[in-house]
Structure 1
Amino acid sequence: MLRLRANGSVRPRKVTYMIDGQLAGQDTLVIENGDSIIFADLDGTVLIEHTRPASGVKYVGNGRPRGRRPRTLETSPMS
């Protein structure tokens, strides 16, 4: 079990994995199973799953673009 950093990343075995910035500070379970590594919350919900990176790789992103999430453009109920 590891705690997510302020930017939503975790660093098991000297490789930084980006999970989700909105989950910063929460505990996460790290499950290593052969060639895959799974990150889950304490309820067992899988947050993200990766294959083990090649040797020499020090960062694995989450596949999302950098920055804040886009705002949802919902119409107002007053419209």
Structure 2
Amino acid sequence: MPIHSYHLYCQRIDASRNMARYYDLSLQPTLFGEIAVMRSWGRIGRAGGEKSEVFSSDQQAISHFLELVRRKRKKGYAPVGAGRQGE
């Protein structure tokens, strides 16, 4: 497991398009010593999708995490404090 905690909660809000979305991304250890990239997304205030991907090395998981962050930032998602969905 990485020494540092990796967690990102971001939102994309555009009132002119009636868009209010969130994306929550984190790294979590598994019971078998692997590391999982956990993500959830959807409309703010509603249930959304969830997905987890397991990696055998920290390096692979962190690389994937950072690639997902890059993609979301490119689409206009912006980090929001330490909050979570529905707060």
Q: Structure 1 length normalisation: TM-score?
A: 0.29
Q: Structure 2 length normalisation: TM-score?
A: 0.28
Q: Which has the higher contact order (CA 8 A, sep 6+)?
A: 2
Higher Rg: 1
- Give the number of the structure whose residues are more often strand, by fraction: 2
